[in-house]
Amino acid sequence: MLGVLLLVVAALAGYWWLTRERPVEPEAAPLAEPLREDAPLGSAEPPLAEPPPAASEPTATPEPAPAAPLPALADSDPLARELGARVSASPLAAAALEESGVVERFVAAVDQLAEGKAPRRDLDFLRPRGRFLVLGSEPDLRIDPASYRRYDGLAQAVAALDAETVAAAYRRIAPLCEESYRALGYPEGGFETRLRTALKLLASTPRTGDTPPLVAQVKRYEFADPNLESLADAQKQLLRMGPRNAKLVADKLREIEAAL
């Protein structure tokens, strides 16, 4: 679940891309004046046509500004922070930008999510406050819906994203993501596939009721339903956000995957 917020970081870098203007095609030059049909026979040249009224010089269409070159990967944090403030006012987005290595953490989180892992190490600073709460006792042990409120802010931040903005942001920073991905030891050209895998995995998380049954284990709780417990860790973390929050996130991830 925590890795979802780094999609906000991807959107933050996309503001410049979306505000570029498409170049305007220049108008074709007018055809030459045709010969007059009433020109005298045998004349060497037809009489000159009446000169057209003077026209003002056409205004030249300004060329679009060239795309600013991407900074080096090691120097890419200022770009993410500068553009991020224009795209999202979410305090969680601001927190994601404060830590150094924004692109590297995004790529590392996506890589872990694609494997089904919850990237807690890379996003530990986003850990929600408060404890995970339960109701009752076995065999009627269940999740306390009050636990879900810890994730309301995150779910709302993700749901507020514009899918096209996120997709455009990815296109802007894709070379940096690819470079960071290769630094993890992967071959060239594989990060976009990894990103799509992570999005589809989270978006395919099944839905549950408000209070799914639990089983108490040593230092942790597990879902009593074996189908839920067999899900990837990242999917189970998404379920712990609660059915409403999980739906908000999953629906937005499907939109983002489609936009990509």
Would you list the DSSP string of 179-226? HHHHHTTPPTT-HHHHHHHHHHHHHTPPP--SS-BEEEETTEEEESSH
- Residue 178's φ and ψ, nearest 5 degrees, are -65, -40
**DSSP letter (8 states) at residue 41:** T
pLDDT, position 256:
87
Q: Treating both helix axes as pointing N-terminal to C-terminal, what angle do 243-259 and 191-203 enclose, rounded to 10 degrees?
A: 150
pLDDT in tens, the chain (260 residues): 333 445 433 333 322 222 222 333 333 333 334 434 444 434 444 444 555 555 555 555 555 456 678 999 999 998 777 766 666 777 877 777 788 898 898 899 899 999 998 776 655 555 677 788 889 888 889 989 998 998 888 888 888 888 888 787 778 888 999 999 999 999 888 999 999 999 899 989 998 888 889 999 888 889 999 999 999 998 998 898 899 999 999 998 899 889 88
pLDDT at position 219: 82
Helix 191-203 / helix 102-114 crossing angle, nearest 10 deg? 60
pLDDT value at residue 4: 41
Residues 6 or more apart whose Cβ sits within 8 Å of residue 33: 49
- Collapsed DSSP state (helix, strand, coil) of residue 52: coil
Give me the pLDDT at residue 46, please. Answer: 47
Complete DSSP assignment for 117-185 = ---TTTTGGGPPSS---EES-TTS-EE-GGGGGGGHHHHHHHHTS-HHHHHHHHHHHHHHHHHHHHHTT
pLDDT of residue 138: 82
- For the chain, helix (H) and strand (E) counts, in that order, are 11, 4
Q: Where are the domains of the chain?
A: 2-16+72-130+148-204+241-259
What CA–CA distances, in Å, run from 1 to 67, 126, 131, 226? 34, 10, 16, 20
Residue 246 CA to residue 152 CA, distance in Å, equals 10
Q: What is the pLDDT of residue 67?
A: 60
pTM for the full model?
0.69
